[in-house]
Structure 1
Amino acid sequence: MVTTKNAITKYGNLPESARTVPLSDKQLPPEIRTRCIASLMILKNALILGGIDPQLNFLETPNVRREEDELIKGYAVVSSHLFNKSAIDHPKYKDKIYISDPVLEDGQFEKGIFCLPGNHKVLNSRSLDDLKKAGKPLVGIHWSNESDTLAGLGIKEMEKGPTMDCIFRMINAGRADWVPLGFHNSKDLSVQRDGITLVPVKGIKIALTESRHFIVSKGHPDGKRIFEALQKGIKIMRENGLITQLLTQGGFHCRATKDWKIINSENVIAIK
């Protein structure tokens, strides 16, 4: 399996009880509470349900885009991260990777508008027009889904950062005013990184306008077997509600922001 150092570290910090699969839809381990761990455990659980006992051997990469490269070359069989449809549904990948059924449907991955706690101009935004006037957004250089979503709202000027650490530092330094981030299930919904705290604008959020999928290498000798098991397991987990539970606990969905206004709802194909 290919994944990032961050995911490997977080998985390594899980107690053994939280790594056990198959998971029960009655009670999920509370330690599964970040997006990278939720997607990894969806993958691991789906493989078990599909008939494969996964022995996780990690190939570390510096970022998610490098995961694609390793899979295309056949150096790894599957990635633990979820990829948005446009990034992988491309002719150059057609004979290189298998694409799983959607784990996140169009519009299901919601993100908040995060800024520094003292940026009251952004924090006082209650609509898209307010947000446009409040300042410049920042996205990651590989965040094509977020960039396209913001562009669809008429936001053309964006700063871009290479890593999440850089993004937090750029916001802190005033290079940009806000960044779309997934919600964390902390009590105040704040997120911290490298000593920098960002908080969400209350009451508004965006829904990303693409589905997200696992990808499996066609060049790896175990690729077809892994893909078929994964597809079977995803179907079972979809039917028993376990995928939704893991996505919610991991922060792809957030109960605390359920009633917040989606400012790009007209652009979302389907919100489920």
Structure 2
Amino acid sequence: MPISIETDIYNYAQQVLGEESIESIEHFKHPSCRRDVVEFILVQKAIKLGGLNLEYDFVLGDYDARNIRLIQHGLLLISFDSIWLNEASQYANDVFISEPVIRDGEFYAGIYVAPNKVTELTPKLKNGISDLSFVTSEAWHTDIKTLTALKPKNLIIEADWLVMAKMVSIGWVDAMLAPFKPALPFEYTGNNYKIRAIDGVKVALQDSRHFVISKKHPLGNKTFKALQKGLKQLRQSGYIERAYKECGFLNPLVEDWQEIKAKLD
């Protein structure tokens, strides 16, 4: 069963698994762990728990934007990366939509800025984000919807995460939304960029996240039923919530932070 997967996600998942198997892994407290790594493991675990044994042939590369089109046309069975319901609903004729793995109202993003601008920008957030300029990705439908409703000073739409991080880091734009990491400090660092979350504030992203499975793939219906059955068991046991919390996507460290919430139609 060929499954396309981002190269870095596959490699991070191997680090997180270590000596464990998909069936045996219980904890996700690892520096390489993030949401999409959890989901790479979660999908396989749920399908197996649901009674279906699939053999996966992972094809590594940069497939993120193409995956949903391949699933729509039955050329790919499933995406191992969840998507927002806001986006999944657009493809409802062609895909099965799983039970939510991230429930509506469960997820908060941080407001990331250049480290040398934290002191300057923090006071400007007392009345929301209207005094800050933001950049976001054209593929992040829920982020765009949320930010638009919150009315920043300016909203720039980009295609590439790295470009966005560099724009914020060098001060071309004030801020961007990104997930919190499992531990402090909440920072992302790479070649020619460093961004840091402003302490004490979080933005509510009001949507749920789901896996999608192709209705046109010969194994689609069978896989969907197994996935739903397995996800139900993992939800009831507390496994799903624990996995996302341990990787930092659902972050207990920001529970008491001020919430910035958009009024959506």
Using the size of structure 1 for normalisation, the TM-score is 0.87
Aligned to 1:188: 185
SS in 1 for 2:41: helix
C-alpha distance in structure 2 between counterparts of 1:3 and 1:109, whole Å: 24
Which whole-Å CA distance do the structure 2 matches of 1:59 and 1:138 have between them?
Answer: 31
Q: Paired residue for 2:251, among 238, 254, 262?
A: 254
CA contact (8 A) 2:83 2:211 kept: yes
Q: How does 1:74-223 map to 2 (within 5 A)?
A: 74-90=74-90, 93-119=91-117, 120-129=119-128, 131-133=129-131, 135-155=132-152, 157-223=154-220
Deviation at 1:267, TM superposition (A): 3.6
Q: Shift in Å at residue 19 of structure 1?
A: 3.9
Task: Tell me how far apart the structure 1 counterparts of residues 57 and 191 of structure 2 sit (CA, whole Å).
Answer: 28
Following superposition, the deviation at residue 70 of structure 1 comes to 1.4
1:157 shift after superposition: 2.9
- Asked if 2 retains the 8 angstrom alpha-carbon contact of 1:125 and 1:201, the reply is no
User: Is the contact between residue 136 and residue 158 of structure 2 (CA under 8 Å) also seen in structure 1?
Assistant: yes
Runs of 4+ in 1 over 4 A off after TM superposition: none
Cα pair 2:134 2:176 within 8 Å, conserved? yes
Query: CA contact under 8 A between 1:17 and 1:29: conserved in structure 2?
Result: no
- Kindly state the Cα deviation for residue 156 of structure 1 after the two structures are TM-superposed: 6.9
**Residue identity opposite 2:186 in structure 1:** L
Provide the secondary structure at the position in 2 that maps to 1:158: strand
Matched position secondary structure for 2:130? helix
What letter is aligned with 1:111?
A
Rounded to whole Å, the distance in 1 between the matches of 2:254 and 2:16 is 27
- Distance across 1 between alignment mates of 2:114 and 2:14: 31
* In structure 2, distance between residues paired with 1:218 and 1:60: 24
The alignment partner of 1:191 has SS state of strand
In structure 2, what is the Cα distance between the partners aligned to 1:238 and 1:145?
Answer: 24
1:35 is aligned with what amino acid? R
Distance change in 2, residues 1:262/1:169 (3 Å): same
Counterpart AA for 2:156 = E
**Cα pair 2:28 2:243 within 8 Å, conserved:** no
Shift of 1:126: 4.3
Contact 1:2 1:70 (8 Å CA) reproduced:
no
- Give unpaired runs (5+ residues) of structure 1: none
In structure 1, C-alpha distance between the alignment counterparts of 2:178 and 2:15, rounded to whole Å: 23
Could you say which residue in structure 2 is the equivalent of 1:20? 22
Cα deviations by residue, 1:232-262 (Å, 9 ceiling, x for unpaired): 0111111110000011122221111111111
Alignment partners' CA distance in 2, 1:29 and 1:88: 27
- Are 1:36 and 2:36 an aligned pair? yes
Q: TM-score, normalised by structure 2?
A: 0.90
Which SS does the other structure have where 2:199 is aligned?
strand
CA distance in 2 between partners of 1:195 and 1:248 (Å): 29
